[in-house]
Chain A
């Protein structure tokens, strides 16, 4: 079955620092890749997604992620974080043998804290 690993469970950064959150998945076939964010007290919402094409995808709020097929990775990046980026970040994969026919398989999440 599909599995998703997020390497950092807790990350603390200062404002203006650069961010990279790691995500690796196990299934080697065709997959769709997502990063979701959950701000304190809010719903999960989509940051960005990759289905095909350019492996460097850009999302909302200055986030981007790079799909590297050979490394089974989809790391999230932001060059300069803000205090408002404090949130829980989830990497997710949609593909055969994962969470049902179309259900997403999620990583355990990374709790990001930005210090002013």
Chain B
């Protein structure tokens, strides 16, 4: 595809449930990032994948958050036992090098 895609576009879940968010980066982009944007806030870095290197998880807010990426393709962000404060837009970005990041449309997560 032409750009970064994310699914689902919207997700409503109940507190305590697990959710899985998906990101398809631009083909050939070795770097992939996840960010979170809470209402009225800037983007908050969560995790970074670069090729086959160990991911940089320094931005994950708790051990309920995890992410995986297979090679240089799809990534999934999993939130276990969701809490209301997890409600946010989750954005994925990919990059061909240490340069401009290309963002997806985001997944809007609402935890009731």
Residues of B within 8 A of A108 (CB): 40-42
Q: Does B104 contact A (CB under 8 A)?
A: yes
Once the chains bind, are B45 and A44 in contact (CB under 8 Å)?
A: no
Give the interface size class of chain A: 20 to 34
State whether A100 and B59 are in contact (beta carbons under 8 Å apart), knowing that A43-B3, A45-B103 are contacts in the complex: yes
Q: Does A103 contact B (CB under 8 A)?
A: yes
Once the chains bind, are A106 and B59 in contact (CB under 8 Å)?
A: no
How far apart sit A44 and B37, CA to CA, in the bound complex (Å)? Answer: 12
| Bitwise interface map of A from 82 to 113 toward B, beta carbon under 8 Å scored 1, else 0 | 00000000101010001111111111110000
Once the chains bind, are B48 and A101 in contact (CB under 8 Å)?
A: yes
Q: Does B65 contact A (CB under 8 A)?
A: no
State whether A43 and B42 are in contact (beta carbons under 8 Å apart), knowing that A100-B47, A100-B56, A102-B98 are contacts in the complex: no
Once the chains bind, are B105 and A102 in contact (CB under 8 Å)?
A: no
Contact sample, A vs B, 13 pairs, CB 8 Å cutoff: A44-B91, A44-B103, A99-B44, A99-B59, A100-B56, A102-B98, A103-B56, A104-B45, A106-B35, A106-B42, A106-B43, A108-B40, A108-B41
Within 8 Å by CB of B45, from A32, A49, A51, A100, lies A100
Closest to A44 in B: B103
Once the chains bind, are B43 and A104 in contact (CB under 8 Å)?
A: yes
| Bitwise interface map of B from 88 to 112 toward A, beta carbon under 8 Å scored 1, else 0 | 0001010100111101111000000
Q: Does A68 contact B (CB under 8 A)?
A: no
B14 to chain A, nearest CB (A): 28
Once the chains bind, are A90 and B100 in contact (CB under 8 Å)?
A: no
How far apart sit A43 and B5, CA to CA, in the bound complex (Å)? Answer: 10
Q: Does A65 contact B (CB under 8 A)?
A: no
- Besides A45-B103, A102-B31, 8 new A-B residue pairs in contact (Cβ under 8 A), listed by A number: A43-B105, A49-B100, A90-B43, A99-B44, A100-B33, A101-B48, A103-B59, A109-B42
Residues of A within 8 A of B40 (CB): 108
How far apart sit A44 and B35, CA to CA, in the bound complex (Å)? Answer: 12
